[in-house]
Amino acid sequence: MTARSTERATEPGLRRTGWADWVGLWCRLLLGGVMLYAGLTKATNIPETQQATRAYQLLPYDLANAWGAMMPFVEIVVGLLLILGLMTRLSAVIATLLMIAFIIGIASVWARGIKIDCGCFGGGGATADPKYFQELLRDVALLAHGLWLVVRPGSRFSLDRRLFG
């Protein structure tokens, strides 16, 4: 074992995990749970998700429709992988890129004075009372969770650790 290792041998064959493994577990479960929930709520009504995607006015009509149809299933897969701790770094990279895209989208409509519900958990479209500040805070916090997992994907109870050591 090296000095940089977060695991220390307590007895031959036994390991004690460090606090960073618990932080990783928290990040995996929170980010994965949010991604899974968001994907499931959007996957139940693809036309509504496509409408919400078009409301951002960032992508051409057909591309917004394609993204709105595909995105919920990407979120579901990434969420499941994070919860299971399987392909954690890759899943975290995808989740982090999604969070960056969501932050850019929300900031863009806010800056342009477009009043929409983000559609982050289904729904979306025009609204009189957007919650951009709260949505950005949430997405920045989720981005931080994703970045933690990109840098340090190891965590407690992960299939990565069980399957690959």
pLDDT in tens, 147-156: 999 999 999 9
Mean pLDDT of 88-110: 98
Is residue 23 one of the residues assigned to a domain? Answer: no
The per-residue pLDDT of the chain, averaged, comes to 91
Greatest alpha-carbon pair distance for the chain in Å reads: 63
Is residue 126 one of the residues assigned to a domain? Answer: yes
Question: Which pLDDT does position 77 carry in this prediction?
Answer: 98
Q: Which residue has the higher pLDDT, 18 or 36?
A: 36
Is 80 exceeded by the pLDDT of residue 14? Answer: no
Q: If we measure between CA atoms, which residue out of 165, 160, 136, 152 comes closest to residue 24?
A: 152
Question: Which pLDDT does position 17 carry in this prediction?
Answer: 62
Domain with 139, as residue range(s), is 35-157
Is residue 66 one of the residues assigned to a domain? Answer: yes
Q: If we measure between CA atoms, which residue out of 41, 90, 54, 60 comes closest to residue 82?
A: 90
Q: Is the pTM of this model over 0.85?
A: yes
Is residue 29 one of the residues assigned to a domain? Answer: no
Q: What total of structural domains would you count in the chain?
A: 1
Is residue 2 one of the residues assigned to a domain? Answer: no
Q: From CA 161, how far away is CA 119, in angstroms rounded?
A: 35
Is residue 46 one of the residues assigned to a domain? Answer: yes
Is residue 132 one of the residues assigned to a domain? Answer: yes
Helix 61-84 / helix 88-111 crossing angle, nearest 10 deg: 140
Is residue 136 one of the residues assigned to a domain? Answer: yes
101 contacts 118 by C-beta, under 8 angstroms: no
Is 90 exceeded by the pLDDT of residue 9? Answer: no
Q: Which two tokens stand for residue 19?
A: 């606090």
